[in-house]
Amino acid sequence: QVQLQESGPGLVKPSETLSLTCTVSGGSISSISSSYYWGWIRQPPGKGLEWIGSIYYNGNTFYNPSVKSRVTISVDTSKNHFSLALNTVTAADTAVYYCARQYVERVTIFGVVTLGYFDYWGLGTLVTVSS
């Protein structure tokens, strides 16, 4: 049974960098035959889900254009975890941040990737941006 656990500061000052880590247990991020990306999703208080981005074990990433200029997702296969860094944060980045496993729906012969459903989710961690 795959389990994911988010960790990181719950309070970040405006203009600083939000950093979170998602530790995966019960499965390896780095399986060469892996059919999964590993993603970050956030949910502002009282609002809906927003996908931030996803990463493959080899470091290939997809990012939401809405945050692409400020976000970096990285993976450390030796520690079986992946991380989120979001810089220059404002109050609008206050949210519950979830990490989740995302299925690779298909890859074309040209290497175009289509991602699919999220099957395993972490419990989420609330990050508040405030001075």
- Considering only CA atoms, which of 14, 107, 15 is closest in space to residue 58? 107
Min. distance of Cβ 105 from another protein in angstroms? 6
Element (H, E) at 129: strand 125-129
Summarize as ranges the residues that interact with another protein (CB under 8 A): 39, 41, 48-51, 54, 62, 64-65, 98, 102-103, 105, 114-124
The residue behind tokens 């941040």 is 97
Cβ-based neighbours of 51, under 8 Å, separated by 6 or more: 39, 40, 41, 64
Q: How far is CA 56 from the centre of its chain?
A: 11
Residue 80 Cβ, how far from another protein at the closest point, in Å? 20
Cβ proximity to another protein, 77 vs 120, nearer residue: 120
Nearest residue (CB) to another protein, 1 versus 78: 1
- Beta carbon nearer to another protein, 16 or 67: 67
Q: How far is the CB of 126 from another protein (least distance, A)?
A: 10
Distance of CA 25 to the CA centre of its chain: 16
Shorter beta-carbon distance to another protein: residue 31 or 66: 66
